[in-house]
């Protein structure tokens, strides 16, 4: 009724806010339209505060299963669970409003069958509100990608170095150094694209192979250790910020937060031991307003 514009109930207002938030985000069609155009800026995110920092500058935030190593101290990504991915996915969604948020399907949660992949993907999207999932394109996974996309679930593929196959490959090794490896990566990329993937992470391959993959597929490629030939780039944020003593060869350090944090903690420890913290500025007093 006219004149009653403020009569919406709280649930109705919340619903409207949610719809407005969704409309602000990078959409799947907008992502696909970047093929061959302006480079896609992508980074990993695992927490709400980090998502807030990254969101204004990124097109895609990936809640990668790398969180098992970066946040939880696991030796590989193999031990990551669905529950871990959901928990961190919820945090990233709370901290972002602009970037498209994609979440990895963890090892063992999608490889058995398309139906298993759908159960996992639908649960993750329903419980987080994210827009897409990512899968490593092992043999047979293209069938699952087609199954998911045919049922309304956007999927990002992942070819080249596949972290979930670390045990089979004997470590994190670059792909495409032999002709057989090149053909396998190309075949996986073409199958992933044909199955309807909205984008494709290309990891740890030679520059010429990255160029060939990017030219061979219709969806945008997102490189990590795959040269600037791809349609965009992604890094593990904590690697790029210099939080660890070691980082892969393909990482460029844009900060030294490890050093900054160590210096800050050393200063705090010195002040505590000297009795100079807390001081008057950090203490509450009777009659004070704050």
DSSP β-bridge partners for residue 224 = 203
Residues annotated as catalytic are: 203
**Nearest Cα residue to 235 out of 215, 249, 218:** 249
| Structure tokens that stand for 63 in this block | 């809640």
Helices and strands: H and E segment counts in the chain: 12, 8
Token pair 């990254």: residue: 54
Residues across the chain: 290
* Residue 203: cis peptide before it, omega within 30 degrees of 0: no
A 10 A CB-CB count for 149 gives: 15
Q: Which residues are annotated as a binding site?
A: 65-66, 104, 134, 136
Q: Which residues are annotated as a binding site for 3-methyl-2-oxobutanoate?
A: 65-66, 104, 134
- What secondary structure does DSSP assign to 2-17, as a single string? TT-TT---HHHHHHHH
175: which DSSP letter? Answer: B
A 10 A CB-CB count for 24 gives: 10
Q: Which residues are annotated as a binding site for Mg(2+)?
A: 65, 104, 136
CA distance 59 to 56: 8
């Amino acid at each position: 009724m006219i004149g009653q514009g403020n009569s919406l109930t709280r649930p109705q207002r919340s619903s409207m806010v949610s719809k407005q938030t969704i409309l602000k985000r990078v959409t799947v069609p907008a992502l696909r339209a970047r093929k061959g155009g302006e480079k896609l800026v992508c980074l990993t995110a695992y927490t709400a505060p980090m998502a807030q920092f990254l969101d204004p500058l990124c097109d895609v935030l990936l809640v990668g299963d790398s969180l098992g190593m970066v946040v939880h101290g696991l030796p590989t990504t193999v031990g990551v669970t669905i529950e871990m991915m959901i928990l961190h996915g919820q945090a990233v969604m709370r901290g972002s409003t602009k970037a498209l948020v994609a979440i990895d399907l963890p090892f063992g949660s999608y490889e058995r069958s398309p139906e298993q992949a759908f159960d996992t993907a639908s649960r993750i999207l329903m419980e987080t509100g994210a827009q897409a999932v990512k899968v490593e394109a092992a043999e047979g996974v293209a069938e699952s990608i087609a199954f998911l996309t045919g049922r309304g679930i956007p999927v990002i593929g992942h070819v080249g170095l596949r972290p979930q196959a670390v045990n089979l490959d004997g470590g994190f090794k670059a792909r495409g150094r032999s002709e057989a490896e090149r053909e396998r990566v190309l075949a996986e990329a073409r199958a992933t694209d044909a199955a309807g993937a909205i984008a494709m992470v290309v990891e740890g391959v030679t520059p010429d192979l990255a160029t060939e993959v990017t030219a061979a597929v219709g969806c945008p490629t997102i490189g990590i250790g795959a040269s600037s030939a791809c349609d965009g780039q992604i890094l593990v944020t904590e690697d790029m910020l210099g939080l660890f003593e070691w980082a892969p060869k393909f990482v460029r350090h844009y900060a030294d937060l490890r050093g900054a944090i160590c210096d800050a903690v050393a200063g705090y420890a010195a002040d505590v031991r000297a009795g100079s913290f807390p001081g008057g500025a950090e203490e509450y007093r009777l009659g004070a307003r704050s």
